[in-house]
Amino acid sequence: MHALTQQLKQKMALLCFGSLLLTQQVLAETDFASQQRLLEARVLNNEKKGDHSAHLKPVEKALEFHGVFYGYLPCKDCDGIKATLALKQNNNYLLVTQPAKESSREYYEKGKYTWNEDTRIVVLTARKDASTRQYRIEDEGTLIQLNSDGSQIADGRADRYMLRRSDTVKSREVHIH
């Protein structure tokens, strides 16, 4: 009798644990689903007719351009570099790069960025060594990487050096050109 009770307890515990795991998987939200919810909330917020400008503080133009940008950049020594650039509202940035090869590590770069509305150039200045990177603002959701002097990269294929803002594309998946 004791052995039967012990088996029943084990089976009940396994059944409860399994149902908890299934519940967690069902409740987990994918990255795409949360991006979609955010985009729908933005659209809904923009559709509201109320005038909220009376209680908004003016924002410096350079602080308006922010977001998370994804892309797949060319590389001389590998198949490409997966890049994620987060431009935050407080003029800080985080650039995460990872060469496209098996078990490659991610590289992190933090620093400050500036945005020039006239030239439409974003300049990243690394905190660690004060090196700079420049990107041309193609449109609201696209950045094109430039040479260190601010000129377009010589191979003439600007589309290979493009980072797209996460809310302008349906997926973070990138592909090799």
Residue 165, beta-bridge partner list: 69
Q: Rounded distance, CA 124 to CA 144, Å?
A: 13
- List the pLDDT tens digit at each of the 177 positions of the chain: 677 677 777 777 776 666 655 555 444 455 666 667 767 777 766 665 455 554 455 445 544 567 899 998 888 777 888 999 999 888 999 999 998 877 678 999 999 999 888 888 999 999 999 889 999 988 878 898 988 887 887 766 767 888 998 876 655 444 443
Q: Residue 156's domain is classified under what CATH number?
A: 2.40.128.640
In this structure, are 164 and 115 located in the same domain?
yes
Claim to verify: residue 71 and residue 124 sit in the same structural domain: yes
Considering the domain architecture, whether residues 107 and 82 belong to the same structural domain is answered as: yes
Cβ atoms of 167 and 31 within 8 Å: the answer is no
Whether residue 106 lies inside any domain: the answer is yes
Q: Which candidate, 90, 133, 77, places its Cα nearest to that of 109? A: 133
Token pair in block for residue 135: 């990107």
Residues 99 and 130 in one domain: yes
Instruction: List phi, psi (to 5°) of 143.
Output: -115, 140
Q: What is the pLDDT of residue 172?
A: 47
- Residues in CB range of 154: below 8 A, 6 or more apart: 147
Question: Does residue 136 contact residue 163 with C-beta atoms inside 8 Å?
Answer: no
- Helices and strands per DSSP (H, E), number in the chain: 2, 8
Task: Report how far residue 144's alpha carbon sits from residue 114's, in angstroms, rounded to the nearest whole number.
Answer: 15
Same domain, 125 and 38: no
pTM: 0.59
89 domain residue, yes or no = yes
Domain enclosing residue 10, as ranges: 2-47
CA distances to 78, 129, 135, 136 from 143, rounded to whole Å, are 22, 23, 6, 6
The pLDDT, as a whole number, for residue 111 is 95
Could you tell me the CA-to-CA distances from 46 to 50, 52, 168 in Å, in that order?
10, 11, 16
